[in-house]
Structure 1
């Protein structure tokens, strides 16, 4: 019997909160309705300030509260838009806003903020949150989770399928036995940060600015020399590595490159890091989702470099490319409510598949 779940996702780019209302059962996760709720510029800047500099416990606590309010507002906005009563929703799957991801330190952790109890109180719906901690406790990377969902959605297709999610970071799922999935490296994050710094724009629409520049091979080689790209899976990454400080360190050796040439090179870095990984596997069809799908120049370059592989947005296969990640957390909430383990150990390196997430009751 199917149930209604809401998935919430605010990714590395923080360009909005994706809210997905899904009908879920043992074999399907169908998107019923969705909403992109605005992430204010002031709140985004405050989060980036916390990530990029030292902070205080008070600031962390206050941000947890502020993000909880935001996520609760986002859910209520969707319910109001669709005229659906909260009582019909079995649970909310809350990813939270990632501030720091360090699964391989002396004391491994992954921090997502957004008070789940606040969301439950605001919406009067049970909330499932804190998904990553259990996987890390079991020795895993705590990311990416998408490969298990991609397998659930597309397992009926040919075995030569890869699914690429291009958000702030990019992650690749290879639908084979055993299931493989990992972060390839930066997706949109460096391009977004650079265009924000140079042009005061939230993102490079359709890659138009990158198209005006020319990729610089020396800079690209330097960026691609990052140890993360050569590391073997399981692996995951985030803003704690790929950020403006990381980029500035490389640009010091390439001072004569124009700003638009830097943007073109950053786009090529995303393409190169994806293509190098895709070529390791026998992938014939690459399904693409995430915000990067909207960058037509990025999609064009991927298709050019993978000219022997079909590169298509997941929309062509009946799954929203924009709402895929929010749908993932609706599905993960379903799995937690029904106490079902998520088959991720081959992806994250965990000792065993775990039941992920904690339940924050509405009452």
Structure 2
């Protein structure tokens, strides 16, 4: 099948869309990337999403407007990607939507809300849409996160040394794969979320991120602020665990600055970069990983990557590109894969990583313009993923 994967992370940068041809060969999944792009949200919708994120308060009218607005902009992105990346040959769309709330109480997730009405996507493309990809895992007692563990465990299986996949989105999440041991995956804490919140704070909203980490590189770490931030109990919770802007949002930063003092702009950003580097390295160190493969928007922050490399030593830090896949599009490809698996009756999460009682197919299916005809469920579960080079 040719599948379109759609996603937007907690950084609310825009809609990531990727197209892939996916085949099953017994326990082997073959994924051929066909292209990807990021489509910016309209300015008005981006502002509305950010205003609705915790600790924002919204009305049901705002919820309806957001669900419709996100759905329509996802639909436009999917229609254009189908035309330009696949020549109109896509068979299926998998849409993660935009997370607006992740309901966590300690180590228990009670619910999760992703918005972006899939009916708009089905109407715009004529294709069936798999959406609401986290809820089934939560209903089975899991965190519904990190769903990236499915992709990571299949791709890193069989490596000679323990390895980790690290996604640096608004939150940072990691998957650890060791031969002969069950995989583990969890959110380590903030990735770019606090850094970006600080950038918006010090620029009065004129900028959303510190390009390449240039301003942070010019600053010095504030040890008092760093120590205060690292005292957050979340970092010491055992996995499985997940988090989001409900905890690590602008309010978290504001509280820390009131209590520990506010350094100048460059020192603030340098300290927050170090927070991400330290919290990731501390989370991975007990697992003895030899290689770490990073993906997500944080990879563009060159200063963050340098600090991560220093904190992770002797483990080696590389990007997902070394595994044959553009790391900036990894999550969109992940959701394409989950949609494909759901279509074939195959579970879309890893209970050892999410904490669910069982593995269940992910999401719900919205029919396209043709009658919905699902294939017979696949009997052999995938055990490995291979990224194939696109045809020239």
Normalised by the shorter chain, which TM-score bucket? over 0.9
| Runs of 4+ more than 4 Å apart | none
The 3 A distance-change label for structure 1 pair 292 and 125 is same
1:84 matched to which residue of 2? 87
| Counterpart-to-counterpart distance in 1, 2:322 and 2:167 | 15
Unmatched tracts of structure 1, length 5 or more: none
**What is the DSSP-based 3-state SS (H/G/I as helix, E as strand, rest coil) of the residue aligned with 1:350?**
coil
1:204 matched to which residue of 2? 210
1:161 matched to which residue of 2? 163
What is the CA deviation profile of residues 318-349 of structure 1, one whole-angstrom value per residue up to 9, with x for unaligned ones? 11111000000000000100001135111111
2:261 matched to which residue of 1? 255
2:77 matched to which residue of 1? 74
| Counterpart-to-counterpart distance in 2, 1:121 and 1:95 | 17
| Counterpart-to-counterpart distance in 2, 1:311 and 1:147 | 18
- Give yes or no for contact 1:103–1:140 (8 Å, CA) kept in 2: no
The structure 2 residue matched to 1:20, chosen from 18, 21, 36, is 18
Q: Is 1:62 aligned to residue 65 of structure 2?
A: yes
- What displacement does 1:103 show? 4.1
- Give yes or no for contact 1:96–1:129 (8 Å, CA) kept in 2: yes
What is the aligned-residue RMSD (CA, Å)?
A: 1.4
- TM-score w.r.t. the length of structure 1 is 0.96
Unmatched tracts of structure 2, length 5 or more: 370-392
Q: Is 1:98 aligned to residue 99 of structure 2?
A: yes
- Give yes or no for contact 2:12–2:50 (8 Å, CA) kept in 1: no
- What displacement does 1:158 show? 2.4
1:108 matched to which residue of 2? 110
**What is the DSSP-based 3-state SS (H/G/I as helix, E as strand, rest coil) of the residue aligned with 1:252?**
helix
| Counterpart-to-counterpart distance in 1, 2:330 and 2:20 | 11
- Give yes or no for contact 2:146–2:185 (8 Å, CA) kept in 1: yes
The 3 A distance-change label for structure 1 pair 134 and 128 is same
| Counterpart-to-counterpart distance in 2, 1:178 and 1:156 | 13
Q: Is 1:219 aligned to residue 225 of structure 2?
A: yes
Report which stretch shifted further, 156-165 or 237-246.
156-165
- TM-score w.r.t. the length of structure 2 is 0.89
2:129 matched to which residue of 1? 127
What is the CA deviation profile of residues 83-112 of structure 1, one whole-angstrom value per residue up to 9, with x for unaligned ones? 612xx2221110010010014489811001
What is the CA deviation profile of residues 225-246 of structure 1, one whole-angstrom value per residue up to 9, with x for unaligned ones? 1111110100000111111111
- What displacement does 1:39 show? 1.4
- Give yes or no for contact 2:19–2:85 (8 Å, CA) kept in 1: no
**What is the DSSP-based 3-state SS (H/G/I as helix, E as strand, rest coil) of the residue aligned with 1:62?**
helix
- Give yes or no for contact 2:23–2:30 (8 Å, CA) kept in 1: yes
Aligned length: 359
What is the CA deviation profile of residues 57-88 of structure 1, one whole-angstrom value per residue up to 9, with x for unaligned ones? 11101110000000011111212323612xx2
The 3 A distance-change label for structure 1 pair 125 and 166 is same
1:239 matched to which residue of 2? 245
What is the CA deviation profile of residues 117-159 of structure 1, one whole-angstrom value per residue up to 9, with x for unaligned ones? 1111111111000111100100011111001111112214324
The structure 2 residue matched to 1:182, chosen from 180, 186, 190, is 186
The 3 A distance-change label for structure 1 pair 275 and 65 is same
The structure 2 residue matched to 1:305, chosen from 308, 311, 318, is 311
**What is the DSSP-based 3-state SS (H/G/I as helix, E as strand, rest coil) of the residue aligned with 1:233?**
coil
- What displacement does 1:49 show? 1.1
